[in-house]
């Protein structure tokens, strides 16, 4: 997938599990992306106010400000980023989570995921954005 030579794309990973954060950091920087990590949605909101991101990988159950709340913030304050949002969840998909993800139409992956699965969701999210 390595392609960000024309200016590295910047990804914000919103994840409170250190092992998942490190997997994302290693995998995505290895693909040429610039990666920042936010440990919760509140920290992510602050980071979104300070920098521009091309993609945002959000843990649905992040503490303080959850994935749904952060997504609503992105819709209202950073609408250009909406098409770059991806979700992760470690939960068994309950009806509410499943319905939310269906309504957003945003790509998602279930934790734990592999580096290849992460590359796939990032590629899937970037594809329509290149047009």
**Does residue 112 sit in helix, strand or coil?**
coil
Angle in degrees, CA 63, 64, 69, rounded to 5: 95
State the total domains in the chain: 1
Q: What is the CATH number of the domain that holds 44?
A: 3.40.50.2300
Supply the range of the domain harboring residue 89: 6-129
**pLDDT at residue number 92:** 63
Residue 14 lies in a domain: yes
- Quick check: is 59 in a domain? yes
Chain centroid, CA 8 distance in Å: 16
Residue 1 included in any domain: no
- Pure H helices in the chain: 18-30, 41-50, 67-77, 95-104, 115-129
For residue 101, being part of any structural domain is answered with yes
Tell whether 89 is covered by a domain: yes
| CA pair distance 104, 106, nearest whole angstrom | 5
CA 70 to chain centre: 11
pTM of the model: 0.91
Residue 18 is assigned to a structural domain of this protein = yes
> Going residue by residue through the chain (131 aa), what tens digit of pLDDT does each one get?
444 445 789 999 999 999 999 999 999 999 999 999 999 999 999 999 999 999 999 999 888 999 999 999 999 999 999 999 999 988 666 788 888 989 999 999 999 999 999 999 999 898 877 65
**116 in a domain, yes or no?**
yes
Within a domain: residue 39? Answer: yes
């Amino acid at each position: 997938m390595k392609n960000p030579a024309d200016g590295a794309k910047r990804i914000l990973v919103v994840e409170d599990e250190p092992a998942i954060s490190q997997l994302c950091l290693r995998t995505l920087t290895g693909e040429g992306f610039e990666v920042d990590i936010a440990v919760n949605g509140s920290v992510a909101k602050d980071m979104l106010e300070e920098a521009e991101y091309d993609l945002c990988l959000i843990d649905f159950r992040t503490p303080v400000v959850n994935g749904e709340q952060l997504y609503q913030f992105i819709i209202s304050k950073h609408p250009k980023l909406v098409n770059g949002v991806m979700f992760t969840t470690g939960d068994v998909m309950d009806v509410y989570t499943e319905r939310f993800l269906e309504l957003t139409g945003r790509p998602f992956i279930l934790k734990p995921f592999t580096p290849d699965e992460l590359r796939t969701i990032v590629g899937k999210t970037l594809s329509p954005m290149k047009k």
